[in-house]
């Protein structure tokens, strides 16, 4: 990039560095991310303006660094900036790490069969240049011992930690030392070499999620709950027993947000012994498994203050048991349904089901449904028939959304993000 800008005849030359930062920021906003990184990397005088442009372009994005050292170029979406080249990752951290708040590091796309050296570099750069600003850190496909050997000082401000598909032993679970301010810990599909590693007290922890940890025995999950009675949010993905539900409800009476995922039989195997969660306001239940049991039976859980519920139906159909549950929880104001029915199968979310739900819940103000597609005519009819304030649903493409916006009158505001439409009534 040239540092001089030549004007017309008779006009003195103006250096790029003579321009004020506000002007430079406006110019740099037109650069792609790779060029903006080059500017910040090569010229200290232009760095402040490059920082301003970077914040304008990517300040709220999540940065995903793939320790792959591949030739694939960077990908940029509305919410994420992905980098696949090691050199670019290191420069990005060095130049703009002090402006990042969300960082994801993984070795999933690694070409090198032993990416430890490259990973060590990325982790060292992250620790040196991001430690004072990061509030969320995600680690994906990291082997036991790599993190412990590099991080000698804590990420003092990281509150949200995600560990995905990592090999977790005693050298990969020193969370209290690395993340002293940790409030949320999400463990997804990890291999636990040492199951006792999770059974420890985290003084500031508010949310614990353990999903897909098939090797983690229930005993150690119980220990983790027992040692962290301050939890207000909990997520678990495994087979349940009535005794386990009862254990959670008694030890964590202050829970306000819970997420369980399992087979329908797991939630209705309690006979007549309904287990109560007194303080829970937000509930998500995900149903898994094949089609051998095609209905969602009565959920043998009760909640005194339930306001939001999400049901991930997979391929199951709703039956009278669900409506029995809804009638017992008339405080619900937000309901979300998700489906994984493919195009060859009969949808398990339809207009009749939604109508019954709205009629069952008198306080309902927001209805969301995903995984099935309604025609524009049907959507307009639903919006007009239901006297609700908010809706979210899936559409197949942006053209259908544009058509929907034309059909809606001025009583509604509609937005779309990655195929998800949000419609809100103007008050």
pLDDT of 112 > 80? The answer is no
DSSP letters, 173-193, are --HHHH-TT--EEEEES-EES
Query: Considering only 75-79, 317-321, 334-338, 353-357, which range has the smallest mean pLDDT?
Result: 75-79
The answer to whether 84 and 74 have CB atoms below 8 angstroms apart is yes
Interior/surface letters 200-218, b for 16+ CB within 10 angstroms, e for the rest: eebeebbbbbbbebeebee
pLDDT of 157 > 70? The answer is yes
Q: Residue 93 has what pLDDT?
A: 95
pLDDT of 114 > 80? The answer is no
Write the pLDDT tens digit of every residue in 233-250: 999 887 677 888 889 999
Q: If we measure between CA atoms, which residue out of 386, 396, 391 comes closest to residue 415?
A: 391
Q: Residue 68 has what pLDDT?
A: 66
The answer to whether 288 and 314 have CB atoms below 8 angstroms apart is yes
Report the percentage of the chain scoring pLDDT > 90: 47
Query: What are the domain boundaries of the chain?
Result: 16-58, 268-372, 389-427
Distance separating alpha carbons of residues 198 and 150, to the nearest angstrom:
21
Q: Residue 58 has what pLDDT?
A: 83
User: CA dist 227 to 230, 252, 276, 286, 343, Å?
Assistant: 9, 11, 22, 26, 46
Backbone angles phi, psi at 162, to 5 degrees: -125, 125
Distance separating alpha carbons of residues 380 and 58, to the nearest angstrom:
36
Q: At what angle do helices 47-58 and 33-42 cross, to 10 degrees?
A: 150
Distance separating alpha carbons of residues 79 and 74, to the nearest angstrom:
14
pLDDT of 8 > 60? The answer is no
Please name the residues in contact with 235: beta carbons below 8 A apart, sequence gap of 6 or more: 186, 207, 208, 209, 210, 211, 258, 259, 260, 284
What is this structure's pTM? 0.85
User: Span 252-277, mean pLDDT?
Assistant: 83
Distance separating alpha carbons of residues 249 and 327, to the nearest angstrom:
22
Write the pLDDT tens digit of every residue in 14-70: 888 888 999 999 999 999 888 999 999 999 999 999 999 999 888 778 888 888 656
Q: Residue 7 has what pLDDT?
A: 47
Q: Residue 115 has what pLDDT?
A: 65
Find the length of the chain: 427
Write the pLDDT tens digit of every residue in 185-229: 999 888 877 777 778 899 999 999 988 765 567 788 889 999 999
Q: Residue 129 has what pLDDT?
A: 94
Distance separating alpha carbons of residues 155 and 137, to the nearest angstrom:
9
């Amino acid at each position: 990039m040239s540092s001089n800008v030549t004007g017309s005849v008779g006009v003195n030359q103006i250096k790029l560095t003579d321009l004020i930062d506000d002007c430079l920021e406006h110019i740099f906003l037109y650069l792609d991310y790779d060029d903006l990184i080059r500017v910040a990397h090569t010229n200290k005088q232009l760095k402040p303006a490059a920082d301003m442009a970077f914040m304008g372009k990517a300040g709220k994005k999540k940065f995903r660094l793939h320790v792959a050292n591949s030739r694939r170029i960077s990908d940029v979406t509305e919410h994420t900036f992905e980098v696949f080249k090691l050199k670019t990752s290191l420069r990005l951290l060095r130049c703009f790490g002090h402006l990042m708040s969300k960082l994801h590091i993984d070795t999933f796309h690694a070409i090198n069969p032993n990416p430890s050296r490259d990973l060590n570099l990325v982790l060292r750069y992250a620790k040196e240049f991001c430690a004072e600003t990061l509030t969320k850190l995600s680690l994906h496909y990291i082997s036991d011992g790599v993190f412990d050997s590099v991080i000698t000082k804590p990420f003092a401000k990281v509150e949200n930690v995600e560990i995905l598909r990592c090999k977790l032993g005693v050298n990969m679970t020193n969370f209290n030392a690395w993340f002293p301010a940790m409030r949320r810990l999400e463990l997804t599909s990890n291999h636990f070499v040492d199951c006792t590693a999770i059974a420890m007290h985290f003084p500031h922890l508010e949310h614990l999620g353990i999903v897909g940890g098939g090797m983690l025995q229930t005993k150690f999950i119980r220990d983790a709950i027992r040692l962290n009675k301050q939890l207000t949010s909990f997520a678990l993905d495994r087979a349940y027993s009535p005794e386990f539900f009862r254990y959670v409800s008694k030890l964590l009476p202050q829970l306000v947000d819970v997420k369980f995922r399992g087979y329908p039989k797991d939630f209705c195997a309690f006979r007549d012994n309904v287990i109560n969660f007194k303080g829970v306001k937000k509930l998500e239940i995900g149903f898994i498994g094949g089609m051998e049991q095609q209905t969602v039976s009565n959920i043998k859980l009760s909640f005194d203050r339930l306001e939001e519920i999400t049901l991930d139906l997979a391929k199951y159909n709703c039956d009278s048991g669900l409506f029995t549950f809804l009638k017992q929880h008339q405080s619900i104001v937000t309901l979300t349904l998700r489906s994984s029915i493919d195009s060859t199968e009969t949808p398990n979310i339809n207009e009749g089901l939604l109508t019954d739900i709205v009629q069952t819940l008198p306080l309902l103000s927001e209805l969301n449904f995903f995984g099935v597609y309604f025609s524009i005519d049907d959507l307009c009819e639903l919006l007009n028939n239901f006297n609700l304030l908010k809706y979210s649903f899936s559409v197949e493409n942006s053209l259908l959304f544009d058509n929907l916006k034309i059909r809606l009158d001025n009583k509604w505001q509609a937005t779309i993000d990655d195929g998800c439409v949000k419609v809100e009534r103007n008050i």
